[in-house]
Amino acid sequence: MPDIPQTDPGAGYRAARTAIDAAITRVLDGGAYILGPEVETFERDFAAYIGCGHAVGVASGTDALVLALKALQPAPGDYVITVSHTAVATVAAIELAGARPLLVDVDRATMTLDATCLARALEAPPGPIAAIVPVHLYGQAADLGAILALAQRHGVRVVEDCAQCHGARLGGRRLGTFGDLAAFSFYPTKNLGAIGDGGMVVTDDAALAERVGALRQYGWRERYVSDTTGVNSRLDALQAAILGVKLARLDADNAARAAIAALYDAGLAASGLTLPARRAGGTHVFHQYVVRHARRDALREALRRDGIGTGIHYPVPVHRQPAYAGRIAIGPGGLAESERAAAEVLSLPIYPQLDADAARRVVAALKAALA
């Protein structure tokens, strides 16, 4: 492991060890390990934190997006619009939900869905559009004002991909409260991360929440009676209890991430790197602190030699992935910005327990590599 890792989920456990260990013991002693009271409590607490009416715990962030889309009941051949500059899970979930991905480009500043490209895709679609999935990349909102206006104009539903934005706001509202549904991931490196896997679907629509709840467990509304076909995607009680502990710390952890980001901003202001843009009216929770440079790979190697870990989120856009190349629909105008981003982005070390001296060491190493 590098001296300074790019992320360190173990540090999050150690920071809350006593409370997490107590929560684990409580679950083990209680004997209810799948769904049950711990999951119900966490669902209520998470819904209250986000500011929505309903939350449904599932087995992973990918499953959250799959089941949110399935709840909208897309017809065979329907398209779902999203971006190519994202984790492949976003696009995989669309296909797993029985729809077809239609990829549009991102804007250069935030690397989130470009509303102009979205408008063109909606005006001349290759087929019926079931939904739009804006990805709130790296910890801040996509251009929701424009996206929601376009969705309303064209009668299309919106499912927010909130895998990287736990706690972020736009116009005072938490992300996850703008679309028809939203999907969260609790993968261990997320701002709110489990010690294992987990996900959540949130919505203000009681009927959609009930549908997701049935879909996650074989289509049951009554135990052992499948009213519809479903899957096995249940949040387990241990993860729910752990996440409940971490939820109470989330705002403080996000503030720690913001402090590290501010240190990077100040230290790298004149470095020649392109630093993260902030969307007006929003808060960025810095799941990743992503810089851009044409010599990204050389910089990454220089940092590696200095014992500093980095990441690339993401090195290959989905439409260039071997499993998807040549068979994914691409919106008007192509995906030039997505490809440019993939060649330039570099994620610096950031997690709540990263100390200021380590962050200053990252700054110094980057400046030396750029000299």
Instruction: Name the H helices within the chain.
Output: 9-15, 17-30, 37-50, 61-71, 88-96, 115-123, 144-154, 206-215, 237-247, 250-267, 296-305, 336-344, 356-370
Same domain, 243 and 259: no
Same domain, 174 and 89: yes
Cis ω before 13 (30° cut-off from 0):
no
168 and 302 belong to one structural domain: no
Q: 133 forms bridges with which residues in the sheet?
A: none
Q: Which two tokens stand for residue 59?
A: 């087995």
Q: 1 lies in a domain?
A: no
| Cα 140 to Cα 152: distance, rounded to the nearest angstrom | 22
Q: 181 in a domain, yes or no?
A: yes
Which among 338, 277, 285, 281 has a CA at the least distance from the CA of 145?
A: 281
Identify whether 76 is part of a domain: yes
Residues 288, 168 within the same domain: no
* Total-model pTM: 0.97
| CATH, residue 58 | 3.40.640.10
Residue where a domain stops, chosen among 193, 213, 247: 247
Residues 20 and 129 both lie in one domain: yes
234 and 288 inside one domain: no
Q: Judge if 242 and 263 occupy the same domain.
A: no
Does residue 327 lie within any of the structural domains? yes
Domain count, the chain: 2
Domain of residue 361 covers: 250-370
Structural domain includes residue 3: no
Residues with Cβ within 8 Å of 290's Cβ and at least 6 positions away in sequence, in order, are 111, 138, 276, 313, 345, 346, 347, 348
Tell the residue number behind the tokens 């599932």, with chain if given.
Answer: 58
Q: Does 346 share its domain with 222?
A: no
- Answer yes or no: do 162 and 275 share one domain: no
In single-letter form, the type of residue at position 169 comes to R
**83 CB-side CA count, 13 A:** 33
Residuewise pLDDT in 10s, the chain (371 residues)? 889 999 999 999 999 999 999 999 999 999 999 999 999 999 999 999 999 999 999 999 999 999 999 999 999 999 999 999 999 999 999 999 999 999 999 999 999 999 999 999 999 999 999 999 999 999 999 999 999 999 999 999 999 999 999 999 999 999 999 999 999 999 999 999 999 999 999 999 999 999 999 999 998 888 888 888 899 999 999 999 999 999 999 999 999 999 999 999 999 999 999 999 999 999 999 999 999 999 999 999 999 999 999 999 999 999 999 999 999 999 999 999 999 999 999 999 999 999 999 999 999 999 999 99
In terms of domains, do 21 and 91 share one?
yes
Say yes or no: 72 and 203 in one domain: yes
Residue 365 lies in a domain: yes
User: Same domain for 242 and 255?
Assistant: no
Please state, in angstroms and rounded to a whole number, the distance separating the CA atoms of residues 273 and 369.
Answer: 11
CATH number at residue 364: 3.90.1150.10
